[in-house]
Structure 1
Amino acid sequence: MVFGRVMFFFFYVLVLVRFMVRVGNLRKTHHFLFSSGER
């Protein structure tokens, strides 16, 4: 039971980190395109 909880928590953190990285990359690319478009 405890091992299952740890695995579930680890999986949740992994998905959260991947989502944050994806959002960060989208913001970086969007900011880069927006700044280059302004020039």
Structure 2
Amino acid sequence: MGKKAKPEEIIAKLREVEVRLARGETAASAARAVGVTEQTYY
């Protein structure tokens, strides 16, 4: 089991994924880029 991320870190990662999705990346690619699995993202 990995370390528990702080709420601020989670929000930053979610925003980064949103930006990447808006640029046309797939959810899987965007999630991997910020260091989480696609399953964790959903």
Q: TM-score range by the shorter chain?
A: 0.3 to 0.5
Give the TM-score, by structure 2 length: 0.45
Instruction: Look at both structures and tell me which one has the larger radius of gyration over its CA atoms.
Output: 1
